[in-house]
Amino acid sequence: MAEKLKHPERYTITAALPYTNGPIHIGHLAGVYVPADIYARYLRLTGNDVAFVCGSDEHGVAISMKAKKEGITPQEVIDKYDGIIRKSFEDFGITFNNYSRTSREIHHKTASDFFVKLYEQGDFIEETTAQLYDDEAKQFLADRFVVGTCPKCGYEEAYGDQCENCGSTLNATDLINPKSTITGTVPTTKETKHWFLPLDRYEDFLKEWILVGHKSDWKPNVYGQCKSWIDDGLKPRAVTRDLDWGIPVPVEGGEGKVLYVWFDAPIGYISSTKEWAAREGKDWEPYWKDENTKLVHFIGKDNIVFHCIIFPAILKAHGDYILPENVPANEFLNLEGNKLSTSKNWAVWLHEYLEEFPDMQDVLRYTLTANAPETKDNDFTWKDFQARNNNELVAILGNFINRVVVLTNKYYEGIVPAPSEFSQVDKETLESLQKFPETISSSIERYRFREAGQELMSLARLGNKYLADEEPWKVVKQDEERVKTIMFVALQIATALSVLSEPFLPFTTKKLKNILAIGSGEVETSWAEVSTKETLLPANHKINKGELLFRKIEDSEIQAQLDKLEATKKANENANKELMPQKDTINFDDFTKLDMRVGTILEAEKMPKTKKLLVLKVDTGLDTRTIVSGIAESFTPEEVIGKKVTVLINLAPRALRGVESEGMILMTENADGKLVFVNPDEDSVGNGEGIS
């Protein structure tokens, strides 16, 4: 069944509210914000009424965990990260109509009113259940304060609300071998009262609405996850939590409890719309209550159940609200072959990218769109980022525009030439040009943004091929009139690109329109007019001098990013490395029996037929002796000659491969697992000096 609203009066577009417990990274961008912004920009370009809303999600356990970890208050956490996130989105060009905060009064009131209405309608069930409790911390453990083994896939680091390995949604009490993340202790169970939304009451409605009504128009990954949940049988879901951070439960008996973040957060879309409408002097209600409004949620795959089953059930229970027409959730984006992890700093953070690659927002937008995880998990690599920029944006789109602008300024001082007779190739090229708006529109409206972006690049390829085939730089010597026509056609393609690129490359579009001196006044072209207008850029119009739309990214810049990730990997390995446990206690007399001296390695050679052993001649200050040391995998013989070392000289001699070893060199390991000499820092320390 096709989507019911083919020509809606307005669109409400929501993008998942980011938790304010950390900055935005490329996984968030690829999964949610870039596709949502492409869609919103496209709809505005095509003349639609759009409310594109989002905001910081500032409640829930993630905030409390971050506050405890950093030793600050939850308020300090949300203020810090809301500022970083808000500025990152603005600098990256995400065009929200409103970006709010769930800590604002308008949201607290909206969410509380929602709860009270459902409570008074009898839509909740009240139950006293056994919940996990940390006796040492003296508090109930909400979902993210518990880790344990997932009962479905066996992953040992699953959270109490979700397994990040298999994607299953869980309850904390489902976990095998649960452990408190606050104290590390094994939790007990304790009874507490909560309100639950009985999802089983909405099972028939959800079957009809999703499994029948959206079988053909929702993405397979979204439909499949919903079907799995519904087929499993829906169960009541708690809408309150025992926490001290969040929206207080606004009914009698709710003292010390807050609204569960997954009840309150989606309502943040509504409160954000209210805030926007009040500021703009609009009525917010049609954007959420009018059947002629198309509601679309952009989310990542970990939020599918909440946006397709739980939130729609809440809206249905309320009775006044429309339901989403589509929830085009993306899968996950990995980084250099490994899963993105905020806790392990394995990420490309947006605010850092904007500092390290200034004025290159569109390169990241393009790469994330071209490699979007629309139907399966995909991988971001810095080499692919470089290749997308150098081989596509620079070599195809940038090259075409540069050639057109340079030649127009060279031959005609920037004046668009009047064409003479169009050849068959000219006509076919212009006919092909006119098909692109519809093709790109079709892809965007089916949420195939990767496909749409590649269609845009195909238009630039059309322009490059046209110039390469027609060779105006050669023809100009024999037929100047023909070149005027060629350049006129090429300038029409450039103008079309300046319109159709805006959803994908907004910063580039601005540059290109400035170069072509279009966008206001008489010379302006809408999306639809690219298909219908006979002339997009008229003869005698004067364009400006050119500027490079994109610059080449050098290998050294990419290596710097790879080195940065490698440093993160090493830091993580170091943090997770288990140190050797302390050995049995000895007394001072035992220690004084060890005779450790400063020495110098005079000679070194590999012991034949071994991988690990070097045979060393060491000046101990008392004598020169042979020591066999297992350091050959970390050092060559040449590297150690002349090295000052610490030697245990009164170790009983031991024969190794027929060579008698008379002592031991003291060593340790660095973060890379490579052996390191334990030796004195001062060069003035002489051989034979004792270590005490």
Per-residue pLDDT tens digits for 138-165: 888 877 789 999 998 999 888 887 887 8
261, β-bridge pairs: none
* CA-wise closest residue to 36 among 326, 388, 334: 326
The type of residue at 406 is V
Q: Give the separation between CA 362 and CA 359, rounded to whole angstroms.
A: 8
Residue 584: pLDDT above 80? no
Residue 587: pLDDT above 90? no
Which are the contacts of 492, defined by CB distance < 8 A and separation ≥ 6?
Answer: 430, 433, 535, 536, 537
- Predicted model pTM: 0.82
> pLDDT tens digits for 642-691?
888 999 999 999 888 889 999 999 988 776 667 888 876 666 677 867 77
> pLDDT tens digits for 383-422?
999 999 999 999 999 999 999 999 999 999 999 999 999 9
> pLDDT tens digits for 623-641?
999 999 999 888 999 988 9
Q: Please state the rounded mean pLDDT for residues 221-229.
A: 95
- Residue 678 phi/psi, 5-degree rounding, is -90, 105
Return the ∠ at Cα 27 (arms to 216 and 103), rounded to 5°.
95
Q: Please state the rounded mean pLDDT for residues 600-624.
A: 91
- Which percentage of the chain shows pLDDT scores above 70? 96
Where residue 576 falls among pLDDT bands split at 50, 70, 90? low
Which are the contacts of 548, defined by CB distance < 8 A and separation ≥ 6?
Answer: 398, 402
Residue 396: how many CB atoms within 10 A of its CB?
Answer: 17
Residue 277: pLDDT above 90? yes
Q: Please state the rounded mean pLDDT for residues 269-273.
A: 98
Answer yes or no: are the C-beta atoms of 238 and 248 closer than 8 Å.
no
Instruction: Please state, rounded to an integer, the average pLDDT across all residues of the chain.
Output: 92
Residue 5: pLDDT above 70? no
> pLDDT tens digits for 179-193?
998 888 999 999 999
Q: Please state the rounded mean pLDDT for residues 12-30.
A: 96
> pLDDT tens digits for 440-449?
999 999 999 9
At 3 the pLDDT is 47
At 529 the pLDDT is 95
